[in-house]
Amino acid sequence: MIDANGFRQNVGIILANHAGQVFWAKRIGREAWQFPQGGMDKDESPEETLFRELEEEIGLREEDVTILGRTRRWLRYRIPSRLVRKTEPLCIGQKQLWFLLRLEVEDSYIHLDKGHKPEFDSWEWVSYWYPLRQVVLFKREVYRRSLTELAPYLFKNRVHGYGKEALDNLLDN
């Protein structure tokens, strides 16, 4: 679903384990790593999209995870013009609601080949803030905003140690 401004409605998925690490996946055939994400179908709620994408992309079901939080509003990024496909309607970027989930089952439940067209060929657990320096540049601000907004849900009993200034330093170095 693409809105009147050319942004595709989408959900982003930050999956954490009990150690506070996050699931980081490599796109098939590329050196591009990202969080799972996927577009909403017509008449589908964000939560329905979340669970459909979770199963298609990493083989997990609703009962395998707990939702810890969701961003309050849509976060947007523009796709660089060289990557925009000339389709109708024209899609110039994504607008995403981000969900933070906790994995409640063993890692062995994760399967990258469950969907009809797998998107990832490998994955690893990484520190919570690691993706900020690794994700493609045009997605970086959305990642920063979603990770920052959702961190308190994961680290409520621990100090996660990153305010805006520390995050800015992390990205600069």
What confidence tens digit (pLDDT) does each residue in 12-71 have? 999 999 999 999 999 999 999 999 999 999 999 999 999 999 999 999 999 999 999 999
Q: How many helices (H) and strands (E) does the chain have?
A: 4, 8
Nearest 5°: CA angle at 11, between 128 and 171?
35
Q: 102, exposed or middle or buried, with CB in 10 Å at 0-12, 13-18, 19+?
A: middle
Tell me the whole-structure pTM to 2 decimals: 0.88
What confidence tens digit (pLDDT) does each residue in 66-101 have? 999 999 999 999 888 777 787 777 787 899 999 999
| Crossing angle (nearest 10°) for helices 164-172 and 140-154 | 130
